[in-house]
Structure 1
Amino acid sequence: MAAVANERQESADAGPVENLLHQSTTLTQRAINAIRSAESAKADLRKDITSLTTSFDKAIQK
């Protein structure tokens, strides 16, 4: 909470260019985090599909 308060105070003290830069940096970091999360979900999905395919193949072979 204190970090947010400090950030708001710094934002209030900063000029318009600094505020835009800060917003851009924040949004960029959020986008990077979303991409990393999506990549992780994609990897998990690939593992699940591989496991399901293996199980299906074993069931067919029986």
Structure 2
Amino acid sequence: MTTEKRADSGRSIEIGEEAILKISKEVAIKFIEMGRITPATFDESFKNIHNTIRNTVGKE
């Protein structure tokens, strides 16, 4: 598992790929519950969610 160390206000945070996948899954589940993601749009939507989270934590 790869990790990323990021300094934020003097703190070091390690974010692994597994954590990014879990967060992406939780966001996708919430969108499904709200009706924003359907089976037809899941593939593209999940990729967008996952890429956005990866970019946010600095794992481009």
TM-score bracket relative to the smaller structure: 0.3 to 0.5
Question: Rg bigger for which structure?
Answer: 1
Q: Which has the higher strand share?
A: 2
TM-score by length of 2: 0.37
Q: Which has the higher helix share?
A: 1
**Higher RCO (CA 8 Å, separation ≥ 6 residues):** 2
Question: TM-score normalized by structure 1?
Answer: 0.36
